[in-house]
C-alpha cells in the first residue's frame, strides 16, 4: 500500500497529530524515568536530551527554511518553527532590541498539575536548550530567564524569557 497523498487540510491535521504524539512521548518518557529511577534523574536526563535536541533541531530548521542570517531576527524565525513553540503556543514579541518569549500554556506542567504531581523544575533544562539554540544561530545573543518553574509565576503564564544581543561579545 502506498502512503496517502495529503491535501493541505489533511497535512495540517497530520502535523497537529504528530506534534501531539511528540509531546506525549516526551511526557511519558519523563514520567518513566522519574518512576523508574528518580525525579532528580529525570530532571538531569531531560536537561541533557533537550540541550542536544536544541542544537539538532536548530540546525535542521535553519537548513530546511533557509535561515542564513544572524541576530535576533534569525532567532525569532527559528523559534517560530520550534516544535515546542507550536505545541505550547509561545507568544514571541520581537523588537530590534529584544525578543520576549512567554508561555501561557505548558502541556507538560499542566499535565503534571492535573495528575497532582506538582510542577517540575524546567528552568535549567530550558536555559540549556535556549543556549544550544543560540550557539547555532548567533553566539552574540544572550538569554535571561525572567521566571520559570520552580520560580513563582503568574497563574496565566508558566515562564518568560528575554533574548538580547550581547553588546560586550561581538564576534
Q: Which domain holds residue 29?
A: 9-165
| Domain count along the chain | 1
Q: How many CB atoms lie within 10 A of CB 25?
A: 10
- pLDDT per residue, tens digit, the chain (171 aa), is 788 899 999 999 999 999 999 999 999 999 999 999 999 999 999 999 999 999 999 999 999 999 999 999 999 999 999 999 999 999 999 999 999 999 999 999 999 999 999 999 999 999 999 999 999 999 999 999 999 999 999 999 999 999 999 887 655
DSSP states of 97-163: SEEEEEES--HHHHHHHHTT------HHHHHHHHHHHHHHH-TTEEEEEEE-TTS---TT-SEEEEE
In-domain check, residue 1: no
CATH number at residue 140: 3.30.1380.20
Domain assignment of residue 100, yes or no: yes
Q: What backbone torsions phi and psi does residue 157 show, to the nearest 5 degrees?
A: -140, 140
pTM (two decimals): 0.91
Do you find a cis peptide bond into 109, omega within 30 degrees of 0?
no
In a domain, 170, yes or no: no
Neighbours of 51 (CB within 10 A): 19
Amino acid at each position: 500500500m502506498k502512503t496517502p497523498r495529503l491535501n493541505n487540510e489533511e497535512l495540517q491535521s497530520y502535523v497537529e497529530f504528530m506534534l501531539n504524539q511528540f509531546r506525549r512521548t516526551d511526557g511519558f518518557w519523563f514520567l518513566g524515568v522519574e518512576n523508574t529511577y528518580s525525579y532528580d534523574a529525570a530532571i538531569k536526563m531531560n536537561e541533557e536530551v533537550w540541550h542536544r535536541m536544541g542544537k539538532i533541531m536548530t540546525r535542521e530548521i535553519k537548513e530546511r527554511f533557509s535561515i542564513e542570517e544572524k541576530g535576533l531576527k534569525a532567532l525569532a524565525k527559528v523559534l517560530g518553527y520550534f516544535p515546542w513553540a507550536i505545541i505550547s503556543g509561545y507568544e514571541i514579541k520581537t523588537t530590534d532590541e529584544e525578543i520576549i518569549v512567554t508561555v501561557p500554556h505548558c502541556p507538560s506542567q499542566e499535565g503534571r498539575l492535573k495528575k497532582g504531581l506538582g510542577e517540575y523544575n524546567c528552568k535549567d533544562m530550558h536555559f540549556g536548550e535556549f543556549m544550544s539554540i543560540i550557539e547555532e544561530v548567533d553566539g552574540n545573543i544572550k538569554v535571561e530567564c525572567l521566571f520559570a518553574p520552580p520560580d513563582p509565576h503568574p497563574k496565566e503564564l508558566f515562564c518568560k524569557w528575554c533574548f538580547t544581543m550581547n553588546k560586550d561579545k561581538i564576534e
